[in-house]
Amino acid sequence: QVQLVESGGGSVESGGSLRLSCTGFGNIPNRYCLGWYRQPPARDREGVAAIVSDGSVRRRDASIRDELQGRFTISRDKNTLYLEMNNLNPEDTAVYYCAADFEGPFEFCSAYWLPTGMDYWGEGVQVTVSS
C-alpha cells in the first residue's frame, strides 16, 4: 500500500539548503512518475520536479521547473525520493508535497505535470525561507 510521507522541511534563511525526503512508496515498480509539488501561501499547487520511467530505456529522465534549474535537484535511491534545494529564497516558501503515479500514461510526466495526473500524495511538509 502506498502511503507517502515527506520529511526534511523546516525554516532556513535565504541562501540556505534543505533536502526533502519522501518514503512510503513500497517497492517502486519499473514504470512510474514520481514528483515534487509545492503550494505557496494563497497560490495554486505547482509542479517542482519529476522523474519518470516507462519501464524501458526509451524514457527514463528527470525534469526540474525552469526557474528552479541549478538550485533544485530531484533524485531517487531505491524506494526513497529526494528533493535537494539549495540557495533558497523567500519565494520558495511553500508546503512541499511528493506524489506518485504508477498507472500512466507517462508521456506527460514532467515538472509541469498537473497535480490531477498523480494518484498518490503525501500530507506535505512546510518549508519557510526568511530573508
What pLDDT was estimated at residue 55? 77
What pLDDT was estimated at residue 34? 96
24: cell is 512510503
Q: How far apart are CA 20 and CA 37, in angstroms?
A: 12
pLDDT single digits (tens) 32-83: 999 999 999 999 999 999 999 887 766 668 999 999 999 999 999 999 999 9
The mean pLDDT of the chain is 94
pLDDT over 70 for what percent of the chain?
Answer: 97
pLDDT single digits (tens) 116-125: 889 999 999 9
